[in-house]
Copies of this chain bind each other. A is one copy, B any other.
Amino acid sequence: MSETVTLTLDEAYALAFDTLSHWGFSADHAHSIARVIWAGQRDECHSHGLYRLLMISASIKAGTPMEQPVAKQAVPEVVDHAPGIVRVDARNGYSLLAFERGTPLLLEKARKQGIAAMAINHCFHFSALWPEVEALAEQGVAALAMLPSHNWVAPAGGSKPVFGTNPIGFAWPRPQHPPFVFDFATSAVARGEIELHRRAGKPLGEGWAVDAAGRPTTDPAAALQGAMLTFGGHKGSALSAMIELLAGPLIGDLMSIESMAFDNGAAASPYHGEIIIAFDPTVFTGAAAAQHAQRAELLFDAITGQGARLPSQRRYEARARSLANGTVTIPKKLHDDIRALTAG
C-alpha cells in the first residue's frame, strides 16, 4: 500500500504554478503550463498531471540542446500570416502559451473562412493535445492537432527509428455534452511505457518494438537499442508520416529526426512545431448546422448505446469526480519529489 496526498483543486494549481514560477518561468508561461497540468490531474491522466513537473524540471536542467535552452520568459509572436493561416512563433518557449495566444485569431479565421490552420513554430513540447482541441471545441469549432517528437519509431517494414510518437488529437463540439475528444500517439504505446517496463523488469507487449536487427522483441532493453513501432501496422506508419509532413515541412519546422539532432544528446523536451486545424460547422452548413450537430449525436448514441465507450469518457468521469470532491490525489512520493525540486 502506498501513501497518497490529497490536494484541493486550488492547492494542485498553486503547486504547479508556484513550482514553475520558482524555476523562472514568466507568470504567463507558468499559468499556461499550470492550467494543462491541473486539467490533466483533474481528469486523472496521471502521466499528464503534476507528474509532468518532474519532466519539465529534467528538461530545463538537461544539457543545452544546440546552445538553445527552453526560453522560460519567451513572449510568443502571433502573425496573421494568410487568410487561412495563423502563425505563432513560440520563440523557443514551451508551446502552451503560444497556443493560447494564437487561439483567438485561429477562431476568428475559422469563423470567417470555414477552415483555418494555426502553425506553432519553434516550441519545446511536453503536453497532451486534448486540452487544446477540447478548448477549441468548447468554442464551437471542430479541431485537429498534430505534432512530431523525437525519432524513436520505425516505419512499417523497417527497424531504424524515423518517426516520433507523433500524437493526433481531435475534438468535435456537442450541443448538450462536453466535446467528443480523442488524443493518441501513433506509436503502439507511449515512449514512457518502454522505460517503465524496463525499470519494472516486465516484458513489453507484442508489436510494440523491434530490436536493433529489426526483429520483434518484448525485451525493453533490446527495444531501447532498436526502435518502437507504430500502432496499426502500415496504416499507422502512413499516418505517422503524414503527421511529420503536415506538422514539419509544411509549416517550416523540424521533423522528429531533426528534433532529435537538434537535441544533440541533451535529453531536453522535443523541439519542433505543431499544426492545429479548426473547422467551423456554422460556416460549412449555415443555419442547418444545429440540425447536423443533432444528427451527429446518432453516432455517439450508436456507440454508447451498445455499451462501448467514447474515447474521452473515462476522463470526463474522472473530471466529474474531481470537481465533485474538489480534490485530486497523488502519490506522496510524487508530492515529495515536486517539493524537493523547489527546495534548492
Query: Which label, helix, strand, loop or mixed, suits the secondary structure of the A interface?
Result: mixed
Q: Find A156's partner among B144, B238, B308 (CB 8 Å cutoff).
A: B308
A234 touches B (CB below 8 Å): yes
Q: In the complex the two chains form, is A235's CB within 8 Å of B113's CB? A: no
Q: Does A311 touch B at the CB level, under 8 Å? A: yes
Residue of B nearest to A236 (CB): B232
B241–A159 contact, CB under 8 A? Answer: no
- Structural contact, B308 and A157, CB atoms closer than 8 A: yes
Report how many copies the assembly holds.
2
Number of interface residues of A (CB under 8 A): 71
Which of A8-16, A17-25, A81-89, A326-334 lies at the interface? A81-89
Q: Does A112 contact B (CB under 8 A)?
A: yes
Closest Cβ–Cβ distance, residue A162 to chain B (whole Å): 4
Once the chains bind, are A257 and B302 in contact (CB under 8 Å)?
Answer: yes
Interface segment, one of A27-35, A57-65, A196-204, A284-292: A284-292
By a beta-carbon cutoff of 8 Å, the part of chain A in contact with chain B is 81-85, 112-117, 119, 142, 144, 151, 154-160, 162, 168, 170, 172, 180, 182, 184, 186, 231-236, 238-239, 241-242, 244-246, 248-252, 255, 257-258, 277, 279, 281, 283-285, 288, 292-293, 295-296, 298-299, 302-303, 306-309, 311
